[in-house]
Amino acid sequence: MKELKLMKGNEALAEAAIRAGCDAYFGYPITPQSEVLEYLSREAEQRTGMVVLQAESEIASINMVYGAAGTGKKIMTSSSSPGISLMQEGISYIACAELPCLLVNVNRGGPGLGTIQPGQGDYFQTVKGGGHGDYRLIVLAPATVQEMADFVKEGFELAFKYRNPVMILTDGALGQMMEKVELFPQQERKFEELAWATTGKSANRQKNAITSLHLKAEQMEEVNIALQKKYKEIEKNEIRYESINCEDADIIITAYGLVARICTKSAQLAREKGIKVGVLRPISLFPFPYDVINKYANKVQGILDVEMNAGQMVEDVRLAVNGKVPVEFYGRMGGVVPDPEEILKVLEEKFVGAAV
């Protein structure tokens, strides 16, 4: 029987963490994601024995994640933009030491302290690095409360498959809004001794060291080469996207997360006016669906990229399109969410009005 619930995105995410058999969550309050920590504090320990700890800062939480993830258990944290900024050093260490873990950014408007309203201004930070050095996170961008829950399970699977940190990049609106969600059944919390993990050196194996320190340049380069090889593998296997009415489209809107849902409405309104518009929603932001967008660029007249920022993912869309067709951008910033009509208006101005 389906287990349907009406839940806030943040709560669905927290519930999914418990059900995915997460072993520990370390976090720090920040709007608009504090419900994750609150929900887990209320529910987790008594139900599965999961550790939930409120740290003294996001810096402490990410380093608790670092330590705990080194044992090979399922570990996660969540925060919102300024908190994620504080975590970047730790994330870089985690990526280099190849520790599987799940990170969640409930993106709010920035820069600086910004606003507590939704934003997508952390795309670059999440997808292009954020912390120091050449590393990549696997980035999943949910567009529904359902995906907020499902991507927790999927995120942990990807994290352990590649020994790589996974980040769910969502926003304040998805975190706060309520929708019905079908919850997956409770998974057992089980502990598997992993060959690389620091769980105490037993007599039958060599000692393990979790480290990102490689003092010899050649050795550090080797580590980098191995990481890049892994990222290539991820790019080959793990691209996720949703294509809505793109097959016969003359114009495609690219958007991720919440904005993609709004754009789907814009596309529907456009079709009612006789303009064939489709929506291409990248779900994995790394790896990014370059090839998919490149193929669509062969048969559409133009692409409109819409984001809640000053234009970040649009750079990847342009790389994908590689000059084949015009790529226009429309964005709202600072926590303002665009509505379907204004996006349609922009689309008409840029493409229909310009007699493409």
Partner 1 sequence: MNEKALIDDEHFEHTLRSEHTEIISPENIVYEKPGTLLDVDMHYCPGCGHGVVHRLLAEVIDEMEIQSEVIGVAPVGCSVLAYNYLNIDMSEAAHGRASAAATGIKRVLPEKYVFSYQGDGDLAAIGTGETIHTCNRGENILIIFINNGIYGMTGGQMAPTTLEGMKSTTSPFGRNVSTMGAPLKITELVAQLPGTQYVTRQSVHKPGNVRKAKKAIQKGFELQKQGGGTCFVEIVSNCPSNWKMTPIESNHWLEDNMLPFYPLGDIKTPNGRK
CB closer to partner 1, 68 vs 352: 68
Smallest separation (angstroms) from partner 1 to the CB of 71: 5
Q: Which range touches partner 1 (CB under 8 A), out of 59-67, 157-165, 173-181, 307-315? A: 59-67
CB closer to partner 1, 211 vs 322: 211
Residue 83 is a binding residue for partner 1 (CB under 8 A): no
Residue 63 is a binding residue for partner 1 (CB under 8 A): yes
Q: Which range touches partner 1 (CB under 8 A), out of 9-17, 38-46, 200-208, 263-271? A: 200-208
d(C-alpha 277, C-alpha 89), whole Å: 41
Read off the tokens for 334.
């600072």
Residue 199 is a binding residue for partner 1 (CB under 8 A): yes
Region of residue 327 (phi > 0: left; psi between -120 and 50: alpha; otherwise: beta): beta
Residue selected from 12, 64, 106, 249 as contacting partner 1 according to rule CB under 8 A: 64
Smallest separation (angstroms) from partner 1 to the CB of 35: 22
d(C-alpha 108, C-alpha 87), whole Å: 16
Q: Which range touches partner 1 (CB under 8 A), out of 61-69, 146-154, 304-312, 344-352? A: 61-69
Residue 210 is a binding residue for partner 1 (CB under 8 A): yes
Read off the tokens for 179.
């929708």
* Among candidate residues 150, 143, 132, the one with its CA nearest the CA of residue 169: 143
* Among candidate residues 125, 128, 129, 73, the one with its CA nearest the CA of residue 101: 73
Residue 73 is a binding residue for partner 1 (CB under 8 A): yes
Count CA within 13 A, CB hemisphere, residue 301: 15
Residue 132 is a binding residue for partner 1 (CB under 8 A): no
Q: Are 181 and 12 in contact (CB under 8 A)?
A: yes
> Is 218 strand, coil or helix?
helix
Q: Are 295 and 264 in contact (CB under 8 A)?
A: no
CB closer to partner 1, 207 vs 236: 207
CB closer to partner 1, 87 vs 300: 87
Interaction residues for partner 1, span 39-58 (CB under 8 A): 51, 53, 55-57
CB closer to partner 1, 113 vs 213: 213
Residue selected from 7, 26, 30, 81 as contacting partner 1 according to rule CB under 8 A: 26
d(C-alpha 83, C-alpha 107), whole Å: 10
Q: Are 172 and 117 in contact (CB under 8 A)?
A: yes
Sheet with 101-107, strands from edge to edge, namely 51-54, 24-27, 75-79, 101-107, 165-171, 138-140, 284-286
Smallest separation (angstroms) from partner 1 to the CB of 90: 6
Residue selected from 7, 16, 18, 24 as contacting partner 1 according to rule CB under 8 A: 24
d(C-alpha 97, C-alpha 186), whole Å: 30
Binding stretches for partner 1 (CB under 8 A): 23-24, 26, 51, 53, 55-57, 59-61, 63-71, 73, 75, 89-90, 93, 97, 198-203, 207-213
